[in-house]
Structure 1
Amino acid sequence: MQPLSQKEGTLFRQIIKYYESKQYKKGLKAAEQILRKVPNHGDTQAMKALILNSQGHQEEAFALAKVALKNDMKSHVCWHVYGLLYRSVKNYEEAVKAYKFALKLEPEQQNILRDLAILQVQMRDYDGYIESRQKMMQARSSLRQNWTALAVAYHLAGNYKQAENILETYEKTLKQPPPKTDLEHSEAVLYKNTIIAESGDIERALEHLNTIARANLDRTAVLELKAKYLLQLDRKAEAEAVYRILLDRNNEYRAYYDGLEASLGLDRSDEGSKEKLVEIYQSYAEKSERTDAPRRIPLDFLKGEEFKSAADKYLRRMLNKGVPSTFANIKALYAEAEKKAVIEELVLGYASGKQANGSAEANGEPSDRFEEAVKYFLAQHYSYHLSRDLEKALQYIDQLIEKNPKSVDYNQAKARIWKHYGNTQKASETINHARELDEKDRYINTKCAKYQLRNNENETALKTMSKFTRNETVGGPLGDLHDMQCLWYLIEDGEAYLRGRDYGHALKRFTAVSDIFEVWHDDQFDFHSFSIRKGQIRAYIDMVRWEDHLRDHPFFTRAALSAIKIYLQLADHPELGNPNNNLDLDKMDAAERKKAQKKMKKEQEKREKEEAERKAAAAKKANAKGDDGEIKKEDTDPKGIKLLETKEPLEVALKFLNPLLEFSPKSIEGQNLAFEVHLRRKKYVLALKALNAAAAIDPENPKLHEQVIRFRLTIDGLKETDPKVSEVLNASFKLGPASTDLKKFNTDWQQKHSQSPSHVQSALNVRHILDNSSKAQNETDLKKLLELPTITTEQAVAGLDLLDEWQSEAGVKDSYRQAASEKWPEVTVFQSK
């Protein structure tokens, strides 16, 4: 490598500072200045590549980095930069290789070691992480954070003994005890205590905790751990004393009450413990008039007249105050039918004004606030799924709105009732009226947008959300919602587009959700070094463990399931990949074909014009920056057309399916979809694995029955084309009948589940698969299912989807929809289109 002069050497060091402070233009200018004098200087070329990559010029950066390596293969800077470039594109394996090569050239380089360590813990390569942290600690043993990081590495790897030894060794090197105000030391010793406890030695963990308790700054954590350890060691009297101290500090935290009950050896199911339990909670209730928990918790375990008396007292107290959340606070009790009946009897008594049932009076007159609170409670009570009577709910809420028409709460409750009716149109209109009553309320604004999305009003919902977004950002309000990672909106928006069969927009939203989870996963990078540096170790360990289960979040599951369904549609109907060219021209006569082709040409020209306008607008906004100073790119595919045009929809579906199966293996719908994907991919062993997993979750699942039959047909079809595969699958496939008549098997299954609409629908679909000539009878039987008293609106909608799947005539669908509408006149989806 050609050496730099003193002037260029100073300039090179300045480039590094410019890069670290994100002054990229100055950095490029300095790099060009050096390269004019030393054109083949590898380190400068590498730093220029790093800056170009930060500016979004990825291809140019990689090309320049390769040139830099060619000019100086023995430069650790070039290899380090090469690793950083690979890390930026999430090719972690190649990044690790580059870092390790750089370390061979410069073994003591701390920056490279640090970057390698961060990447290793990000990839959960704990053995490699231990090795890297060991080297860093040995190089700079005076820094506490290096010792702590090594202990963390051993801890995450499951080596509790060595993790504890590392922390203890460092403590022995201290010449004098750290001051009491040293937050890092306070956190480190508490972290050491949790390691001892996790190793299973609770007795020693308690002893250690007692030695550090007085000087530790996190008093609450010390007390919580002490109570927990004492309870685990069955030292209940001591545990009781600590839990009482904790309750004096926070008398609304239920976990403390649970701990107190356990320390007193009280069992809620034991009648002998009831009196003592009541006495405890009464004593805490008397300490403060404002405390809720000790008044509410006894309702969970009291029975009979005791429950009625306590519930009466609690309800009167809350309703007298007019607390809007009263119903939300006690609806968990409705899981027990007896308690639900008692609560209904009490509140109806309040509504009728019977003194015997506890109606409130103020100065001899019934309280208006109490009366309104009672009616509001009853409206929510009759709207709730375990006590539903929507007509009564509507009567009560209408009475309240008549008295107070400008109440946001009352109008929102009415919108919820319409939602439960299934009338998404009225629900949307009502909640929008509630929003207009208080346009500064963000909560009701977001609720309104959600209801509008449920009514498939995508544009209106976005306009509603725009009232609380930064609309001047790139992409407008939708771009801001992406930046804010507003998952609920993206999922609801995607599901609304999916119902309207706008697969492009729907895929766009579900992919955005997946990308946000990927961002959250990548966000760990900064905390691997930040948390160690700041000494927040326990929170860091919690974060790492949380990240390990990131994708078992219900939001990811919802998005993944919906995205997979779309990709299955694309696999079955490739013409959907071009939403502007999905007409079946072969079935048209010459005149219709000519007309359709003319229309398609116009649509193509319109699309090209829109694309040109979008590119022009993107060029204007090329330098638009967000709050973080980074350039925000205009979305070049807002309608998701490119996502639809994928040539391998089943392979792309795996991006959603694999994490879904890994983190939510108990999702029956996930296993059902796994079967569908793998069957189409002709990965029969994986399809069988999904079937067996589904059977382990719910052997009577309706979809599973259908898939078992289809898999049997698939195996039988392989006998001629691939007899060996068929033989292997037959030997492993135990769910479906091998020799039994499939039609009889299906009929028997249908009779077994004759009162379950979902199961009968599945049986009818199997009958359709086995015998296409039975279509008319299937349609008739499907319509008869609407007469079952147990059928729900969701199951009726599933029947409508089946008719679509069977490609039934429009008249058949209209007849089905009309019959459903007669049974559920308010349900929007069954109303005439």
Structure 2
Amino acid sequence: MPSSNPLPPKENALFKRILKCYEHKQYKNGLKFAKQILSNPKYSEHGETLAMKGLTLNCLGRKEEAYDHVRRGLRNDLQSHVCWHVYGLLQRSDKKYDEAIKCYRNALKWDKDNIQILRDLSLLQIQMRDLDGYKDTRYQLFMLRPAQRASWIGFAISYHLLRDYEMALKILDTFRNSPMICYDYEHSELLLYQNMVIQESGESEQALKHLDKYSDQICDKITVKETYGKLRLELGQYSEAVEVYTDLLNLNPENTTYYARLAEAERHAGPEDTLRMLQRYEELFPRALAPRRLQLNYATGDQFKSLVDQYLRKGLHKGVPPLFVNLRSLYTDQQKVDTIQSLLLEYKDALKVHGHFSDQEKKNPREPASALLWTYYYLAQHYDYLGCTERALKEINAAIDHTPTLIELFVTKGRIYKHAGDVQEAYKWLDDAQGLDTADRYINSKCAKYMLRANLIKEAEETCGKFTREGVLAMENLNEMQCMWIQTEAARAYQRLGKYGEALKKCHEVDRHFSEIMEDQFDFHTYCMRKMTLRSYVGLLRLEDVLRSHPFYFKAAKCAIEVYLRLHDHPLPDPTQAQEIDTENLAPSELKKLRNKQRKQRRKAELERQQAAQAQEKREQHNKSRQQTDPDLEQPTLDELIPEKLERAEDPLEQAIKFLQPLQQLASNRIETHLMAFEIYFRKGRTLLMLQSIKRAHQLDANNPDLHACLVRFLQHTGASQLEGAVAEVVKRQTSGIFSNSDAVQLNANYLKMNNKSLPHLLQGARMLYLLDPSAQAKALSLITNIDGSEGVNLENCTRVLEALRNGDLGQCDSSISSYTAKCEKHFPYATAFRPPEPKSIVNHQDKENSIKN
């Protein structure tokens, strides 16, 4: 299109060369040509040249100069679509998509049919899920370029995403009948996508007819059969569905989903019918594992014993390490657990005596020596799962004595100690396992994870460093690779150590990973339409819509919210003020000691600053090398995450809300989301938002112990606030089904009466009892410290009780803490949480006594 401020032929030729240099990523040459135009006094303020120079500078990383030039160019030529388009490209490179959309719309005012601007606008609209705007833009592109495949596909997808299935199908039908279509794999994908749209519209019969008509033209025959089976079941055509799933099982007898669908198609009256079907397929496919394993789900009594006996013997004979994991889902049935345990104990005794699984097999060839080893291994995992730590350790020690070089045994022993509550001992066994095979990345990762659980962060970093890139700090490389499991574990470790800034840094890094994943989808908007992978593309869009419901984000967000709440309740002291206070009224000798201590701290801080500067320099060199290899790398410079700044945020609650909002949208089915929301809004004094949180949590689990604590505090808050007007009316109406017109004291009393056996419920009831009436401390303590006879007495719940006692949730109670830890130590002898710290002098004295005795 002609420029709104045209240049003479010589300068215009130079301007075209600038555009060509930008397209070919020859940015330095582009700057030379721009300089030639702008050095002419007549055109020193030419808007479009200034804009293109700014765009080129942005690609070279000179962002401030780029914005300055583009804004100058825009001011000099507000009617230029080029200036507006360039300004939009700059905003897009900084991920300011809303601003970029505004710029593109302004550009289209001056050049409404510009294909490139329309394409860029459509990409931003689908990225921001402005589906109505996307539909309008795709319509314009369709009208301007009706001969291009992407125009048709984009137009159809815009209606599909808006759930206007009829219009989407009309567009796809017209496109398929056009001469543009080629009968190849891409056409096959288009037909499958069209069938998916028909299914989503609810027309299963039409989808079946469509599949019948075009199945010969579809290359993916397995998907065709699976779709046939699904549609036949939906339409109640069971005999045809049986044929389909029979064919699929002939192709893949290990697919457990096919067996479930076949059972549905055969309309089995009970588990006996399903069992007979699976036995039939076991005979048909004797080498297939799936039918033999699935039989164990449906068999009971003697039949189960016979089947599981065969299954266990085969697994132990061959030495299948994940045998326990395979059977773990059966442990919901206590009878099946008892049967498995009795069989394994018989195997162990018989194998130790004469090398067979039972006494009746003495005439048969002996089992391999490893059969006893795998029996020990299975029993160790079995007892660990049931919480019998002593017996589990006995079995795993027997296995290690049998074969002291098998890595799985050391990993399992570490896992047993972890479940028993001794993370230090668990890490040591994983370290031994890692020492047996230093080239195994899985064992390396497991060992690092156990180190983090034991709060050994530097050791974990060194362990991971064996597999990260040389010349870069291990954590920097892991962050670059978006290794989120280690970052969430490290955040928890820093939180436990009280290093809140470091914990928040890890949480923010995870948050940035999810932002990057969402931004990475930008590349697929054009690629998928060009390659016709339309079903995968729609699946990608739907995945990105719920991305932050992922467990990694939930863990990081929960950790960050807890830390910000802690920082709000107990703000960190200002380090400068602390030093001034310390130096007042000190004796000369004490002052000298303090000065020496401060000098050492300054040296240490200086050393840490130098290390941080070196790490930053390495990062900059790495980013520079990446930009050299890919000069079109348009990455906005993110603020550096500095722990000291993060832990001294001006408003911790606002920072917590940033992590909370995605959870409220995408993890609303988890009660922890609403409980965390209540904690934030309670501190902000937002009554209606508190009410919203407890109402949502109440719908998920009305008897949740943590929710009860929120309800009592909400009643206390509303009682003290003296609500009036519309707020009071809303609270009264919305809480009528939750509180039943009772006050906080009565609500807590009723709650304790209803849940007088459950330890987690008693804990929250006791906390609220003390909160409402501090004089009832003795009663509150007696509720939770007498754990004998209570339900829910496990390591997690008992540790929470101990934390509540130590945090002063029930006032000062040192004697109660010591008696409670003594009781818990009897229940959990391996758990380090309940052990009193032993002074070094006592340990040394005991060592001396032992050496004397020896």
Going from structure 1 to structure 2, the CA distance change for 1:636 and 1:677 (only over 3 Å counts) comes to: closer
- How far apart are residue 214 of structure 1 and its match? 1.4
SS, match of residue 79 in structure 2: coil
Q: Comparing both chains, which one has the higher relative contact order based on Cα–Cα distances under 8 Å and sequence gaps of 6 or more? A: 2
Aligned residue for 2:659? 656
What is the CA deviation profile of residues 380-399 of structure 1, one whole-angstrom value per residue up to 9, with x for unaligned ones?
11111xx3312111111111
Structure 2 residue 495 is matched with structure 1 residue 498: yes
What residue number does 1:765 align with?
767
Distance 1:415 1:163, change over 3 A: same
Gaps of 5+ in 2: 838-854
Structure 1: give runs of 5+ residues left out of the alignment: none
Q: What corresponds to 1:335 in structure 2?
A: 332
Distance 2:638 2:141 in 1: 43
CA distance in 2, matches of 1:50, 1:509: 34
Shift in Å, 1:693: 0.9
Amino acid at match of 2:722: K
CA contact under 8 A between 1:622 and 1:634: conserved in structure 2?
A: no
Partner residue, 1:164: 169
The answer for the alignment partner of 1:424 in structure 2 is 423
Deviations 1:495-515 (A, max 9, x none): 111111211111111111111
SS in 2 for 1:251: coil
Deviates more, 1:728-737 or 1:798-807: 728-737
Name the counterpart of 1:400.
Answer: 399
Rounded Cα–Cα distance in structure 2 between residues aligned with 1:108 and 1:277? 64
Identify if the C-alpha distance between structure 1 residues 740 and 229 changes in structure 2 by more than 3 Å, giving closer, same or farther: closer
Deviates further, 61-70 or 559-568 = 61-70
Counterpart of 2:528 (choices 502, 508, 531) is: 531
Report the counterpart of residue 545 of structure 1 in structure 2: 542
Using the alignment, how far apart are the partners of 2:291 and 2:165 within structure 1?
Answer: 39
Q: Which stretch shows the higher mean deviation, 95-104 or 805-814?
A: 805-814
**Contact 2:682–2:690 under 8 Å retained in 1:** yes
Alignment match, 1:311 = 308
> Residues 332 and 77 (structure 1 numbering): CA distance in 2 closer, same or farther, change over 3 Å?
same
Report SS of the residue matched to 1:575.
coil
The reply on whether 1:463 has 2:462 as its aligned counterpart is: yes
Relative distance call for 1:732 and 1:279 in structure 2 (3 A) is closer
Matches within 5 A, 1:568-607: 568-575=565-572, 580=575, 590-591=585-586, 603=601, 607=605
Residue range with higher mean Cα deviation, 149-158 or 626-635: 626-635
* In 2: Cα distance, 1:755 partner to 1:8 partner: 87
Q: Figure out how many residues of one structure are paired with residues of the other and give that number.
A: 818
Q: 1:143 aligns with which of 139, 142, 148?
A: 148
- 1:828 maps to 832
Q: What's the offset of the Cα at 1:639?
A: 5.3
- Equivalent-residue separation in structure 1 for 2:249 and 2:61 (angstroms): 54
Task: State the alpha-carbon separation in 2 of the partners of residues 606 and 9 from structure 1.
Answer: 61
State the partner residue of 1:667.
670
Are 2:760 and 2:797, in contact at CA under 8 Å, matched by a contact in 1? Answer: yes
Q: For the Cα contact (< 8 Å) 1:718–1:725, is it kept in 2?
A: no
Q: Does structure 1 conserve the Cα–Cα contact (< 8 Å) formed by 2:93 and 2:635?
A: no
TM-aligned CA distance change 1:736 to 1:535, over 3 Å = closer
The residue type equivalent to 2:247 in the other structure is I
Decide which of 736, 753, 756 is 2:755's aligned counterpart.
753
Match of 2:697 in 1: 694
Q: Which residue of 1 aligns with 2:280?
A: 280
Distance 1:623 1:151 in 2: 46
Evaluate the alpha carbon distance shift between residue 367 and residue 22 of structure 1 in structure 2; reply closer, same or farther with a 3 A threshold.
Answer: same
Aligned-pair CA distance for 1:246: 1.7
Name the CA shift for 1:317/1:573 in 2 (closer, same or farther; >3 Å): same
Contact residue 118 and residue 528 of structure 1 kept, 8 A: yes
Select 2:112's aligned residue among 107, 112, 133.
107
CA deviation after TM superposition for structure 1 residue 596, in Å: 11
Q: Choose the corresponding residue for 2:255, options 245, 253, 256.
A: 253
- Mapped partners of 1:620, 1:204: distance in 2: 60
CA 429–18 in structure 1, closer or farther in 2 if over 3 Å, else same: farther
Corresponding residue of 1:414: 413
In structure 2, the CA distance between the partners of 1:24 and 1:400, relative to structure 1 (3 Å rule), is farther
CA distance in 1, matches of 2:419, 2:702: 30
CA distance in structure 2 between the partners assigned to 1:361 and 1:514 by the alignment: 62
Q: Which piece of structure 1 moves more, 421-430 or 403-412?
A: 403-412
- The equivalent residue for 2:102 is 97
- Indicate yes or no: 2:700 matched with 1:705: no
Residue 550 of structure 1: how far off its partner (Å): 0.9
**CA offset digits 1:474-524 (Å, max 9, x no partner):** xx1111111111111110110111111211111111111111111111111
Structure 1 stretch 225-234 or stretch 688-697: which is displaced more? 225-234
8 Å contact kept, 1:712–1:736: no
Instruction: Provide, for residues 435-460 of structure 1, a one-character-per-residue CA deviation record: whole Å limited to 9, x for no partner.
Output: 11001110111000111111111111
Counterpart residue number, 2:848: none
Change (3 A) 1:367 1:606: closer
Q: CA deviation at 1:212?
A: 1.6
Q: Once the two structures are superposed, what CA deviation does each residue of 1:528-579 show, in whole Å capped at 9, x if it has no partner?
A: 1111111111110111111111111111111111111111112222236x5x
Contact kept in structure 2, 1:423 and 1:828, CA below 8 Å: yes
1:42 aligns with 2:63: no
Q: Is 1:297 aligned to 2:294, yes or no?
A: yes
Secondary structure at the counterpart of residue 497 of structure 1: helix
Paired with 1:819 and 1:603, the residues of 2 have a C-alpha distance of 42
Deviations 1:136-183 (A, max 9, x none): 1121111112111111111111011111100111122228x734xx22
Superposition map of 1:467-486 within 5 A: 467-473=466-472, 476-486=473-483
The 1:194/1:399 distance shift into structure 2, 3 A limit, reads same
3-state SS of 2:39 partner = helix
Two-structure CA RMSD over aligned residues (Å): 3.0
SS of match in other structure, 2:216 = coil
Q: Deviations over 1:243-273 (max 9, x none)?
A: 222222222111122222222222444x4x2
Tell me the secondary structure at the aligned position of residue 308 of structure 2. Answer: helix
Query: One-letter code of the match for 1:438?
Result: D
Which residue is equivalent to 2:75? 70
Pick closer, same or farther for the CA change 1:832–1:279 going to 2, 3 Å. Answer: closer
Which residue does 2:735 correspond to in 1? 733
Which residue pairs with 1:683 in the alignment?
686
| Paired letter, 1:770 | L
Residue-by-residue CA offset, 1:393-412 (whole Å, 9 max, x unaligned): 11111111112111111111
CA distance in 2, matches of 1:541, 1:359: 60
Query: CA offset at residue 601 of structure 1?
Result: 8.7
AA aligned to 1:61 is: A
Alpha-carbon separation, structure 2, partners of 1:359 and 1:569: 65
